[in-house]
Amino acid sequence: MRIPLYIEFEGKKVVIIGGGGVGTSRAKKFLQGGAEVFVYSLEFSEELKKLSRDGRVKLIQGDAFDENKLDEILKDAFLVVVAVGDLKVNDVVKKFSKKYNFLLNLANDAKSTEVVVPFEGEIEGIRFAVTTEGKSGIVAKLVRDKFQQLLEDDEQIFFLLKAMEFLKRYMKENEVPINIRMKMYFAVSSDENFLELVRNGKIDEAKEYSINFVKDYIEGKRQIDERAEVEF
- Residues 71-92 have pLDDT tens digits of 999 999 999 999 999 999 999 9
Average confidence score pLDDT of the chain: 94
Q: Quick check: 30 and 88 in contact, CB under 8 A? A: no
Q: Quick check: 89 and 112 in contact, CB under 8 A? A: no
State the first-to-last Cα distance of the chain, in angstroms, to the nearest integer. 51
Res. 2: pLDDT tops 90? no
Confidence of residue 174 (pLDDT cuts 50, 70, 90): very high
DSSP string, 21-72: HHHHHHHHHHHHTT-EEEEEESS--HHHHHHHHTTSEEEEE--TT-HHHHHH
- Residues 178-209 have pLDDT tens digits of 999 999 999 999 999 999 999 999 999 999 99
Distances (CA, A) of 208 to 100, 167, 169: 52, 9, 13
Give this prediction's pTM.
0.84
In this prediction, what percent of the chain has a pLDDT beyond 70?
96
Q: Which helix (H) or strand (E) holds 173?
A: helix 156-173
Confidence of residue 220 (pLDDT cuts 50, 70, 90): confident
How would CATH label the architecture of 13-117?
Answer: 3-Layer(aba) Sandwich (3.40)
Give domain limits for the chain: 13-117, 118-153, 156-231
Res. 228: pLDDT tops 90? no
Question: For residue 1, what pLDDT is reported?
Answer: 79
Over residues 131-153, mean pLDDT: 94
Res. 172: pLDDT tops 70? yes
- Residues 138-147 have pLDDT tens digits of 999 999 999 9
